[in-house]
Structure 1
């Protein structure tokens, strides 16, 4: 039973799941928009929101936490520089999930997750 379990397991062991979410979060911050399955988009949404909230804080400790999570160090520095202008007056809700057509091979529900 999965009663009150908040983390979607994505059918992977914990280390692979964490690596997948880190990779998806890195690419979403880099490109601003990625296409993935609906479940993965919902899982990566909270991670990206957390990283953007760290960037809004802007402290050295927040920067080090973000560097420890995001794979690209220059991407973290660029995010910390531009986040004040882009999300300065917004209290959460930095991403948007748009449902698209099902995937052709296995009919999985696909969606686009993008930064607002």
Structure 2
């Protein structure tokens, strides 16, 4: 039984799992987003976020600790250079997982895992999007005119009734 076990073994031995997560983390650091299975993406998030937190403080000790996880000098350079500058003000939550659906060959759930600060699509949410125009030809104008016309007709009729009562 696996009561309370939080680590997903991913059907691999410990050495294979360590190698897999290290390679996925290096690819995520290099490419800023990767597509993989949902289970691997969730396991990778748990693996890489503490490394990103440690990379915010550039010291020899932190470089050596991260190198013990990744074993890739180019990924270390990228992590302590470009990435650490972008995530310096973020208190956590450096990655985002987006579900993509089922894979064609084996029906496995796929997901896109990406570094949040390197996504240009979601980062531009602060800019105003242009107002969308409807394709219906004057549908909203007709409704506005239709609602205004009965109100205008009702007002003179009410005035006429008031005048008649006053005349009596």
Please indicate the TM-score interval, normalised by the length of the shorter structure: over 0.9
SS in 2 for 1:97: strand
Structure having the higher helix fraction is 2
Provide TM-score, normalisation by structure 1. 0.94
Give the RMSD, CA atoms, in angstroms.
1.1
Give 2:2's aligned residue.
Answer: 2
Alignment-derived partner of residue 105 in structure 2: 105
How many residue pairs get aligned? The number is 116
Residue of structure 2 equivalent to 1:81: 81
| Structure 1 residue ranges without an equivalent (≥5) | none
Deviation at 1:83, TM superposition (A): 3.3
Superposed, 1:1-116 pairs within 5 Å as 1-116=1-116
Q: Which has the higher contact order (CA 8 A, sep 6+)?
A: 1
Q: Runs of 4 or more off by more than 3 Å in structure 1?
A: none
Cα distance in 2 for partners of 1:36, 1:78 equals 21
TM-score normalised by L of structure 2: 0.66
